[in-house]
Amino acid sequence: MHEVDIEEIAVDLLLEAIYRRFGYDFRNYARASLQRRIHHFQEVYDIKSVADIIPRILVDEALFLALAGHFSVMVTEMFRDPGFFLAIRQKVLPALKTFAAPRIWHAGCATGEEVYSAAILLQEETLYSRVTIFATDFNDEALAAAKDGIYALDNIQQYTRNYQLAGGKQSFSDYYHADYGRAVIKSSLKKNITFANHNLVADHVFSEMHLIFCRNVLIYFNQDLQNRALALFRDSLAHGGFLCLGSNESLLFSEVEKDFTVVDEKQKIYKKKRL
């Protein structure tokens, strides 16, 4: 048997062990991406083979959580893809103003940069005081960082450029204060945000959302899991609510495509049809 076949079996067994021991289901993640992340984990922890990971994580929950952290995607920044946030400002928030108490869900919020970016838009469009925001991820370490809202000052120059390109109406420095080389998001932007653990693979809907962000997460799922997550978002949205995906994601050819209209195809913004 070829070595590659043995590794495929070992990966299957590892994912099954994780599911049965800890309840996290990575079995339908895109396999090539998953294997790259497993190999990186092996390098970091000096584990020779995939098969050797299994007995160690079964008895060492901290090691499992480290592995799960490798499966969690953390590529993010404030106002990443400024054109997307400009489209949200121009095409989504005016409609959101028609709801008495808009509810927003950031699914796969990572370390929170996108959440606070959207909060700034809501503040500038006089919406923040009446919204409820849920920010979720399956990675508790990322959630803790998101809740803290503390970022490296080295990144602020890039964040400021992004903010300006997204149609920023004030000085970006109005939204954080500097503290020992760190940028700390102001508490006024945090008061309407609830951070919570939620696993798109296994957990249930958030009901009556008016806007859902899930950007650059689905690309790591296979087609079955993508369809499950998209159905979850559809069922979580109020009629007329908006769904925002990542630049390399789309509803095209998905099982829920017929339930949405396109608001902005380039920026991957969709609106749930009213039945």
Kindly state the average pLDDT of the residues 213-226. 86
How far apart are the C-alpha atoms of 16 and 28, rounded to whole Å?
A: 11
pLDDT of residue 73: 61
How far apart are the C-alpha atoms of 139 and 73, rounded to whole Å?
A: 10
**Considering the domain boundaries, does residue 252 fall inside one?**
yes
Helices (H) and strands (E) in the chain, counts: 10, 10
**Considering the domain boundaries, does residue 180 fall inside one?**
yes
Question: Does residue 30 sit in the same domain as residue 93?
Answer: no
For the chain, the residue count is 275
Residue 75 has pLDDT above 80, yes or no: no
CB 136 within 8 A of CB 196: yes
- Taking all residues of the chain, what is their mean pLDDT, rounded to a whole number? 92
pLDDT of residue 2: 52
**CATH code (residue 196):** 3.40.50.150
**Considering the domain boundaries, does residue 7 fall inside one?**
yes
**Considering the domain boundaries, does residue 172 fall inside one?**
yes
- pLDDT band of residue 22 (cuts 50, 70, 90) is confident
| Nearest alpha-carbon partner for 220 in 200, 243, 193, 190 | 200
What percent of the chain clears pLDDT 70, i.e. is strictly above it?
97
Angstrom distances, CA of residue 173 to CA of 89, 167, 251, 254: 20, 15, 36, 41
Question: Does residue 86 sit in the same domain as residue 67?
Answer: no
- Residues of the domain holding 253: 82-272
The total number of structural domains in the chain stands at 2
CB 68 within 8 A of CB 199: no
